[in-house]
Every structure is written in C-alpha cells, then in structure tokens.
Amino acid sequence: MKSPKDYLIFPLDVPTYEEAIQCVETLKDHVGLFKVGLQLFVGVGPKILRAIRERSGAGIFLDLKFHDIPATVKNAFMAASTYGATFTTVHCDEGKGLLRSVVENNPSGTKILAVTVLTSLEGKDLKELGYIDRYVNDITELVILKARMAKEAGCSGVVCSGLEVEKVKAEFGKNFIAVTPGIRPAWSLAGKDDQKRIITPFQAIKRGADYIVVGRPIRSAEKPIEATKRVLDEIEMAISQ
C-alpha cells in the first residue's frame, strides 16, 4: 500500500551539488523520489546520484528526456541504465521504433517513461510548431496518440499533465504509469510561471496520477517542509476518498 509520500517526486532543479544535497537532507523524509534533470546532471554529473542514494531511502527519477536519432538514444539510455534509477525518460517525438529499441535494449530494472506533451505547452504553442487543428484544439488527443505509441512500444508509462491523466488511465489501464508534473496547489502562485496545463495535487491524484512532480511550489515556499506537508495532506485526502 503506497503512503502519500510515495506519490511525491521532488525535482532537484538547482545548479550545484551543495544545493541539491541540502534539498535532499531537508526533504528526504517527506518525498518518495528525487528527480535529477538536465540542469543538475549536466552541471554536476553522476556523483549526485550516488550521494542521493547514500543520504536517503528515496528513489531516483533520472529525467534526461532523451531525444535524438534511435542509435544515440539507445546508447545513451544504456549508459544511464547503469545508475540504478527507478525511472528515466525518453521523448515520444521520434516515434514508436525509437521507443521500442530503447525498451528492447534495457539491461536494467530502470523503468522507461515516455514524455508526451510538456506541461509548459498549450494550444497556441502547438500551432506554432505546425500541429494540425485537431491537436491544437484538443491536447488530450495528442497525448493519447503519443501514449499509445509508448504503450505499444513497451514503455512502463508516460509523463503527461493532470488534465490528461484520467483519459490515459482509462485507455491504457491502471498499470500503465502516469507521472504528472505541472502541479500547482491552490495556495501556490498558480499561473505565474512557465507551467500552463496545471492542476492541484488533490485533483491529479483523484484523476489517477501514480506520481506527481512538485518543484517550485515547494522550493519557492517560505517554509518548504510545511509546503511539502500541505501537498502530502492533499494526496492523503485524495487517496482516502
């Protein structure tokens, strides 16, 4: 049985090893996984993964969002798989063949999540990118298209916004993992940053998210531990209903 903190992923979106470790020490008893993304991994390197493991019992989400030609992604993923992360991410945009070649060459227990449509994008961004009106007007449909590729390729799940998670779960079943960023509690500064397709922790879990990524609402809070506890309370409320 998952406890509320098992649903919570905190992204270590900080530039230095020292700041990352400080976040880990502060939050290690309150979150299920720490997410290491491009900024920290490129800046600090894999030693941060060892350090997280030595200091906490939390899992690691190595969010490198691979996106390149199939051979490069496959080889980059194989290198990343040696770090023992719980999850890592590959973009859907190069198609099912790429996703499948990563899944089929996974020598580790690291689960592969496919990134569908970033939560920082909205309809007008998709239009600029050349998407047809069908997807510009209904992002959920685009997310489902990409999630279907991920499912058919054998990925463990997807990253999608809380606005699409219910449909993803309905289409692909409860074992197909949905990780949901773009989380903005009602008490945070919703709508004031780059996240567009946002939803509260309570709503995301109610709609079926297996994990929520909550960064700035915690990191920018005056009292980060208090903010984390408020998020955990919302998760608890959602799972107990």
Site for ligand C5P in 36-95 (CB under 6 A): 37, 63
Question: Is-catalytic flag, 65?
Answer: yes
Active-site pick, 28, 65, 111, 127: 65
Asked whether position 228 contacts ligand C5P by CB under 6 A, the answer is no
The continuous run of DSSP H or E covering 159 comes out as strand 157-159
Asked whether position 198 contacts ligand C5P by CB under 6 A, the answer is no
Asked whether position 21 contacts ligand C5P by CB under 6 A, the answer is no
Report the distance separating Cα 40 and Cα 98, nearest Å: 26
What DSSP string describes 4-21?
A: GGGGEEEE---SSHHHHH
Asked whether position 13 contacts ligand C5P by CB under 6 A, the answer is yes
CB atoms within 10 A of CB 195: 20
Report the distance separating Cα 7 and Cα 228, nearest Å: 12
Report the distance separating Cα 216 and Cα 25, nearest Å: 17
- Minimum CB–partner distance for residue 139 and ligand C5P (Å): 12
Give the residue, chosen from 195, 200, 203, 228, that forms a contact with ligand C5P under the rule CB under 6 A.
195
- The backbone torsions φ and ψ at residue 42, rounded to the nearest 5 degrees and listed phi first, read -70, -40
The residue of the chain with the least Cβ separation from ligand C5P equals 215
Piece of the chain touching ligand C5P by CB under 6 A; list 14-22, 149-157, 212-220, 225-233: 212-220
Asked whether position 118 contacts ligand C5P by CB under 6 A, the answer is yes
Asked whether position 159 contacts ligand C5P by CB under 6 A, the answer is yes
From residue 174, how far is each of 113, 208, 209, 219, 221 by CA, in Å?
A: 15, 8, 10, 30, 33
From residue 145, how far is each of 44, 59, 101, 151, 172 by CA, in Å?
A: 35, 29, 19, 10, 11
Asked whether position 33 contacts ligand C5P by CB under 6 A, the answer is no
- Minimum CB–partner distance for residue 86 and ligand C5P (Å): 14
- Minimum CB–partner distance for residue 127 and ligand C5P (Å): 18
Asked whether position 149 contacts ligand C5P by CB under 6 A, the answer is no
CB atoms within 10 A of CB 104: 10
User: Catalytic residues, which ones?
Assistant: 65
Which residues contact ligand C5P (rule: CB under 6 A)? 11, 13, 35, 37, 63, 118-120, 159, 181-183, 195, 213-216
